[in-house]
Amino acid sequence: MRVRLCVVGRLRAGPERALVDDYLARFARTGRPLGLGPAEEVEADDRRGGGPVAEGAALLRALPAGAALCALDERGRRLDSPGFAELLAGWRDAGRPLAAFAIGGADGLSDAVRARADVAVSFGAMVWPHMLARVMLAEQLYRAATILAGGPYHRA
């Protein structure tokens, strides 16, 4: 099952970009034997300033038919890392061709994206900048693959 990060905004060169690239490369290596990955990023930018509605439309255009969608939203379910790994494995085992993860801009996700999502997941009660949310998602994808592979990275 391929993975797509559908995100608002551009992630420029810097420490966040380096972390995302590193974790997605690790995910590709670890997930491939498990039928997960690789992961790609689709950056949606609304340069006309249409806010969450326009950003949401761009995110939805980035979703192929049949994709399972996880909206990263502060009001979503709080999963632990094994629960997140189970979510991915469940979609893979159900034959979903692609798992997509949506990260909104400064004003969050549109109602249309939340309505289309199969699940909404929160990284906690705090609001995170989209750059850091992308890093955290990339790390959790890698962690999920190591959990499913029985590797030593996750020690909880």
Residue of 85, 79, 63 lying closest to 5 (CA atoms): 63
So what's the pLDDT on residue 107? 86
So what's the pLDDT on residue 130? 85
Below-50 pLDDT ranges, the chain: none
So what's the pLDDT on residue 97? 94
Question: What is the layout of strands, in order, in the sheet containing 68-78?
Answer: 39-44, 2-8, 98-103, 68-78, 119-122
C-alpha 155/C-alpha 36 separation (Å) is 21
Residue 96 CB neighbours (<10 A): 17
So what's the pLDDT on residue 47? 67
- CATH number given to 2-149: 3.40.1280.10
So what's the pLDDT on residue 46? 64
Strand partners, 101: 5, 70
